[in-house]
Chains A and B, each alone.
Chain A
Amino acid sequence: MINRTISLALSLLFSILRVHKITNPVISRLVRGTHTDDILKVGPAHKARDDKPRMQACYLTQLILLFFISHTSLSFGAGDLNKVAEKRYIDLTKEIRCVVCQGQSIADSNAPLAKDLRQKILEQVRDNKTDAEIKDYLAKRYGEFILLRPRLSAATLLLWTFPAFCLCFFAVRFFQRHIRP
């Protein structure tokens, strides 16, 4: 519920800023491609200099708000969940690969299959299935490939332990070379 309120407030603020951008004569002229010097010469444009920091702040805010959009859109459709379950649902969708658009997670994708899989995950979160059970369910159908973060298994043992192994190896060598003598 809180998530939904925040996302609504953010999108409202965002649209106000967009309206502001269109109504602000200086910016709209810039958008239409008029040269900045022309604007600075004529009457109301003298204000443009004072407006500049505010404009920049406005753009910066918009840019920051852009980052929230993909996340807020996801929280819709899960409104009846409690906060913990909703977070679990969102975190899970970020860890599942969208198989038809392979670089993305299903949280970021609007492909029909990604929507269906989100729905399946939502249903299972509602049924209080554990994360492991939900991942099993998906991996059984689509393979380990669908999990963006590989699980620890015989095949991925090297992958998971290699960084730690390297760290130990070089730590020992460093110790031998520089500290012991």
Chain B
Amino acid sequence: MRRLILARLLIPFLILFALVSLFWYELFYNKQGNLPSPLIGETLPRFSIPDLFNDQASFSSERLNGQVTLLNVWASWCYACQLEEAMLMKISDTYHIPVYGIAYKDTPADARAWLAQHGNPFTLVGSDQTGDVGIDLGLYGTPETFVISRSGKIVYRHIGVITQQVWDEVLLPIVRKYS
């Protein structure tokens, strides 16, 4: 009988302990930057936007079928995009992975000038002036990079700048896995 009372006294403390550990975990170990995307594993949303360098031509989502590609969303007004420009050049030149670009909410003239200044790593760049494609992609901000499989499915999304470390440890293994 006494044992039973003791056990019942312990229950509130056990619940409290469980709650404290849960909050502790959520507070210190939960990765904030790891935003879930419902689009992983889905086919890339269809889009067709003007080619940045040729108003008559268009850049449509079908262009990405057939091989593993990166789809990078950037803007000339985005400071962080400058930081990953060299890495994107390296990816397309050294690793020979085609990188496609979407100039997000940018005037075409500004975007072209920016590419002329910083170098153009993109196989093809589309101009999404309204930001509609951004919303269809569930875009949080720039830069954001999607890994697209051969069959045109989104296999991974990276939010933020691609550094050498991110490329080596995260993106390259994924690209290798799907090619």
A and B interact: yes
Q: In the complex, which residues of chain B have a beta carbon less than 8 angstroms from the beta carbon of A144?
A: 38
Chain B CB within 8 A of A27 CB = no
Asked if B38 and A140 make an inter-chain contact with CB atoms under 8 angstroms apart, the answer reads yes
Bound-state Cα–Cα, A144 to B37, Å: 9
B143 CB to closest chain A CB (Å) equals 14
- Which DSSP category, helix, strand, loop or mixed, fits chain B's interface? loop
B131 touches A141 (CB 8 A): no
Decide: B135 and A143 in contact? CB cutoff 8 A: no
| A100 part of interface (Cβ distance < 8 Å) | yes
CB distance from A17 to the nearest CB of B (A): 39
A120 within 8 A of B: yes
Chain A residues whose CB sits within 8 angstroms of the CB of B66 once the complex forms: none
Interface string of B102-137 (1 = CB under 8 A from A): 000100000000000000000000000001001111
Q: Are B141 and A141 in contact (CB under 8 A)?
A: no
Residues of B within 8 A of A91 (CB): none
Contact with B along A112-123 (1 / 0, CB 8 A): 110011001000
Given contacts A116-B131, A117-B135, A120-B135, contact A143 B140 (CB under 8 A): no
Indicate with 1 or 0, residue by residue over A7-31, a CB within 8 angstroms of chain B CB atoms. 0000000000000000000000000
B138 and A142: CB pair below 8 A? yes
Determine whether A145 belongs to the interface, using a CB cutoff of 8 Å to chain B: yes
B36 at the interface (CB under 8 A from A): yes
Contact present for B138 and A141 (CB under 8 Å): yes
Q: How far is the CA of A99 from the CA of B134 in the complex (A)?
A: 13
User: Does A143 contact B141, Cβ atoms closer than 8 Å?
Assistant: no
CA distance A97 to B35 in the complex (A): 13
Q: A143–B131 contact, CB under 8 A?
A: no
Chain B interfacial positions (CB closer than 8 Å to A): 35-39, 105, 131, 134-141
Interface set of A (CB-CB < 8 Å, partner B)? 99-100, 112-113, 116-117, 120, 139-145
